[in-house]
Amino acid sequence: MTAGYRDESLITQVAGVHADHAAPGQVLTGRPTSSSTLPGLVVRMLRHGEIYDGADVLDLATGSGYSAALLSRLLGDAHVTSIDVDPYLTEAAAERLDRVGLHPKVVTCDGNGPLPGRYDRIVSMVAVRPIPVSWLEALRPGGRLVTCIANTSLIVTANKTDDGWAHGQIERDWAMFMPTRSGSGAYVSRLTDMYEAIRDQSGEDVRQGRYPVVDAGAGWELRSMLEVTAPGIEDRYEEDEDGRRTAWLLHEDGSWARASAQGTDCPTVHQAGPRRLWDIFDDLRFHWLASGSLPLYGARVSITPKGVIRVWRGTWKGVIR
């Protein structure tokens, strides 16, 4: 019971198996597929949504039902719809909400597809890339959406205009959510076999890197910029007992890189495939060092009716599609 009142995320489902269905002492491996999100983050996302009395709100990704509960207390049941792709999650959340006297509309559906209504606010507790067309179709003119971009820590807020576009910004805030799923099963990495094959392989191009090895996945700003610049790169990282750091970058186009060094020494970098992924990564790090920042946070955003996100700040421009 006390865990539910701590300001931390609680993993409730791993590889499609919910904690309710796990045997006592069972240890599951794989990626989390649902959680009860950090309560403070839920509140921040709702604040970004600029919720107001009388607004019809879509809570996208029911999870434990916590965000739906907050919205129902604030707005009343009739103004809240909560959806999730997993039928067990929606069923269990609806039962929990009922026990505390809350009855928002809870629907099992794919958040990437048609939505069950029209809304003044869409607040997503899952990450997407690009923005699903159905979101813009379901959002009323003047309505506002809040979401994270998949594989980044970028929170996008945008208001829909009469022409079907939405305009806003990348907030000077950060969060990371699981990406949307089209089914209730586990997430599957398509690059696991590739990683095993190239883990210790010599590259076509071997040279010394410019900067120390870092864990790209833990450096949220760098990871976000890498995803926007070269989408689809997966990363791995290890540090052994002697302090040797090794990082891998992989892409389904066959490109890969491995950088390894003792501590903060400049690494030996192996690369192969059509692109030099570590060079792309180091170019971003050079920009960061030379400029003192990366241009993503605070950038302006325009979202086309097809869900493509155009991003710019100063002279820098990017497209998230």
Instruction: Say whether pLDDT at 195 is over 80.
Output: yes
- Res. 25 pLDDT band, cuts 50 70 90: confident
Query: Are domains 2-174 and 192-291 of this chain identical in fold?
Result: no
- pLDDT digits 0-9 by tens, 48-94: 999 999 999 999 999 889 999 999 999 999 999 999 999 999 999 99
Domain boundaries, the chain: 2-174, 192-291
- Res. 6 pLDDT band, cuts 50 70 90: confident
- pLDDT digits 0-9 by tens, 154-166: 999 999 999 999 9
Residue predicted with more confidence, 37 or 130: 130
Q: What is d(CA 226, CA 184) in angstroms, rounded to the nearest whole number?
A: 29
> What pLDDT is stored for residue 295 in this prediction?
94
Read off the pLDDT of each residue in 232-251 and give the average, rounded to a whole number. 96
Q: What mean pLDDT, rounded, does the chain reach?
A: 91
Percent of the chain with pLDDT over 70: 88
Of 6-20, 168-182, 259-273, least confident by mean pLDDT is 6-20
Instruction: Say whether pLDDT at 176 is over 80.
Output: yes
- Note whether 139 and 123 are within 8 A (CB): no
> What pLDDT is stored for residue 24 in this prediction?
76
pTM for the predicted model, two decimal places: 0.90
> What pLDDT is stored for residue 26 in this prediction?
72
Q: What is d(CA 277, CA 274) in angstroms, rounded to the nearest whole number?
A: 9
- Note whether 298 and 277 are within 8 A (CB): no
> What pLDDT is stored for residue 224 in this prediction?
96
- Res. 42 pLDDT band, cuts 50 70 90: very high
Instruction: Say whether pLDDT at 188 is over 80.
Output: no
What fold does the segment set 192-291 form as a domain? Double Stranded RNA Binding Domain (3.30.160)
> What pLDDT is stored for residue 39 in this prediction?
87
Q: Tell whether domain 2-174 is in CATH 3.40.50.150.
A: yes
